Amino acid sequence: MTTRAWIAGIGMTPFGVHQDKTINDLTRWAVTDALTDAGASTNSIDAAFFATATQAFLQGQLMIGGQIALREIGIQQIPVFNVENACATGASAFTLAVNHVKAGAGDIALAVGVEKMHIGDRERSMAVFDTAYDVADPAALTRTLKELGGEIDEPDLGRRSIFMDIYAAMARNHMRLHDTTQRQIAAVAAKNHLHAAANPRAHYRTPISIEQVLSARKLSHPLTVPMCAPLTDGAAAVIVCSDQGLLRLGARRQVQVLAAVVGTGTDRDITTFDGHLSQHVALNAYDAAGLGAAEVDVAEVHDATAFAEVLQTEMLGLVPRGEGGPAAERGDTTLGGRIPVNPSGGLESKGHPLGATGLGQIFELTEQLRGTAHGRQVDGARIALAENGGGFHRGEEAVTSIVLLGKA
C-alpha cells in the first residue's frame, strides 16, 4: 500500500518588517503555531527540514542554522536537515518532508522556512540576489538578457534586484510573442493588492488601481514598483503526516498532498517559452496526482513580479498560451473568477521572505481547502496548486517546485 501524506498543521507569521525579531524568534512563532494547529508537541516530530536562503549571507550563520533555531524551541535528538534552493527553498523543504513520510522514514515531519532580510543595510540585502545566477560567468547573464529582451535604452532607474531586469527581459519577450500589454501586467498587480487587503498576514494590505500601478516609479520596462515583490521578513511552517502520524496526533484527514515535485531545466531555445521548466514540472505533478489543470480550483504562483504570474498561469495550463495577460485583465484570475490565482496577495503584496515563501503558499492553500480563508475564500475549493521557482540559469528559473493538494 502506498503511504499517503497529509498536512496536519500550519503556522505562519505575518510577512513584513520585523525589526525586533531574530531568525530564532520568527522560527519559534511559525513552528509553535503549526504544532498547536496539529495538536502536536515538539516530541511528536520525527524529522525536521529547515529552509533559509539568506541567513548565511545576511546573518553569517553558514552552517547548522536549523539545529540552532529548532533546539531553541525544544526540538532535539531528531534528524534536522538544512535546505537552500533559492526562492524555492521553502517548497523544497516541504517536498523533502513529504518524501520522508511517504518513504516510511518517519510518520510526522516538520518543514519550516524563515528569512530576516531587513538588517539595516539595504545594499547588502539587495546583494543577496546577485548570488542566484552563475557568478562565475556574469557576461553570460548580460548576453541572455539581451537575447530575451533586446536592447533597451533606459536612464539610471536606481538600485534594484537583478531579478527585476531578468523578469523585465522575459516580459518584453512575451510581449513580442503574444502582444501582451503593460496594462495587462498591471492588472495582475492591482488584483493581487486587492486580494492582500483581506489577508491579515500580508506585507501590503492597501488596494491600488491599474492606473496607480502604471503611474508608479519605473524599474525596468515594463515593470513598475507595485508589480514587484518587496524585501520581506517572516516564517512559515507545515507539519506533514502519514496515516499513522495522523492517528498519533488524533488529527482529522483534511488536506492531502497529491503531488510534490521539484525539477530543474533543460537546454532549449530561450526565445520561446516552449519546454519551459515550470511547464514540464507541472506535467510531472499532474501525472503523479492523476489529474489535469482543468481540475485546479485555486492556485498560488511565484509572482516575484506581476509578469511572472502571467507566464506561470500559461505554463501551468490554467489559461491557454498567450492568454495570461488577457485573462488577468478580464478578471478570470480574480476571486470570484474562473480560476482564482494568488488569493493571498501573492509575493507582490503578501511578501517574499525567500525561504518561507513556498511554505507560505502551502499555508494559504491549506486554509483555502479547509474553508478558513474568510474574506479571500474561494468557494468550493477542492484542488489547489502551488508553483514556487527560484534562481536563474540559461533563460529560465534554475529550480521549480509544483505542489498539488486535495481536500479530503
Catalytic residues: 87, 352
Residue type, 135: V
Phi, psi (degrees; rounded to nearest 5) at 255: -130, 120
Q: Is 259 helix (H, G, I), strand (E, B) or coil?
A: strand
* 179-197 burial: b if 16+ Cβ within 10 Å, else e: ebebbbbbbbbbbbbbbbb
CB 109 within 8 A of CB 100: yes
**Dist. CA 288–CA 8, nearest whole Å:** 21
Question: Angle at CA 288, nearest 5°, toward 284 and 293?
Answer: 65
CA torsion through residues 240, 246, 249, 250, sign: positive
Strand order in the sheet with 6-12: 80-83, 47-51, 108-115, 234-241, 6-12, 255-263, 399-407, 383-390, 298-300
Q: Per the structure block, which three cell numbers stand in for 147?
A: 537575447
Residue 86 burial class via C-beta count within 10 angstroms: exposed 0-12, middle 13-18, buried 19 and up: buried
**Dist. CA 295–CA 288, nearest whole Å:** 14
CA atoms within 13 A on the CB side of 262: 21
| Nearest to 118, CA basis, from 51, 29, 12, 19 | 19
What's the Rg (C-alpha) of the chain? Answer: 20
Q: Per the structure block, which three cell numbers stand in for 40?
A: 502536536
Q: Is 114 helix (H, G, I), strand (E, B) or coil?
A: strand
| Nearest to 192, CA basis, from 78, 340, 5 | 340
Question: What is the number of other CB atoms lying within 10 angstroms of the CB of residue 145?
Answer: 21
